[in-house]
Amino acid sequence: MKEKAVFDARLLFFFILLFSERCGGQGLRQQFTARVQSIKEKSRVRWSRGSGPKPAKGASVLREEKAMGYPVILQLRGRRAVVVGGGNVAARKIHGLLEAGADVVVIAPEAAPDIEALAAKEAIVWKRKRFDPNDLAGAFLVIAATSDREVNEAVARAAEPGQLLNIVDDPERCDFHVPAVIRRGPLMISVSTGGASPALARRIRRELEEQYGDKYGPYLEFLRQARDMVLREVADAEGRKRLFRALAADSFRQSGRWEEEFTRLLAKEKERNKEGERGR
């Protein structure tokens, strides 16, 4: 398919050249040649078979070679995070940073009521001023969340090497993207489209919120405590694995009798260990 496309393009080029020569259109020929050369120089894509859904028979997929992001969970407790902007988008970013324990500093001459309330409670530091490059001093993470592209650009230029940068309207210049997040106690599910469609990420998040309801928070808290107890009281590695699998099963979660069922499973596993020791 690729070879056929190249052949067709060359054939079309030949006929255009022939037509332009016969009609005295030397300028047309020069323009077309320059255009082809420009496309060659600017193009950074190649023909390849995609890894997604299989295309129709005989079809080719033209996709840009681009590195995928590396998903991580940042530990921000006690670290300085600077948010430039005071609107609703900035407010959403601020709430996420506070949940992660970051020390949040907001730079904005005006702010949404939600941000004002956080500043009044001293949950954040709000500097009522326009952005200055010195505002980023000591920041571990920087988010530019204004509706002014010039301000966002100034933030991008001021960020120093090593500072994690996010520009809300310019995914290509970001060191990281903020995914759509579901939190259920210790459970955190993140959805990201790599900046391609935040709207789709939010839609998928809403679907997952229905699947993983509020009951998962208490369930995960129980599993945390149960895990600690298993690690203390069950020495056999295989026995631990059996218990962890049983506790994570849907049937266990849906039973609602977590304490009772866990006590029974733990006693059964301890008895199994005793029998194994007697057998040796």
Model confidence pLDDT, tens digit, residues 161-215? 999 999 998 888 899 888 888 989 889 999 988 778 888 999 999 999 999 999 9
Parts of the chain belonging to CATH 3.40.50.720: 80-178
Model confidence pLDDT, tens digit, residues 22-34? 445 555 556 555 5
Half-sphere exposure of 236 (CA within 13 A, CB side): 14
Model confidence pLDDT, tens digit, residues 111-168? 999 999 999 999 999 999 999 999 999 999 999 999 999 999 999 999 999 999 999 9
pLDDT at 232 over 80: yes
- Which CATH architecture best describes the domain 80-178? 3-Layer(aba) Sandwich (3.40)
Residues in contact with 51: Cβ distance below 8 Å, sequence separation at least 6, in sequence order: none
Average pLDDT (9-37) is 51
Given CA atoms 183, 188, 194, 197 in this order, what sign does their dihedral have? negative
pLDDT at 81 over 80: yes
Average pLDDT (3-19) is 48
Question: Domain 180-213 maps to which CATH number in 2.20.25, 2.60.120, 3.30.43, 3.30.160?
Answer: 3.30.160
Pairwise CA distance, residues 79 & 127, whole Å: 18
**Angle at Cα 25 formed by Cα 24 and Cα 31, nearest 5°?**
155
Model confidence, pTM: 0.65
pLDDT of residue 44: 36
Give 86 or 172, the one with higher predicted confidence.
86
Location of structure tokens 């193009």:
43
Parts of the chain belonging to CATH 3.30.160: 180-213
pLDDT of residue 131: 98
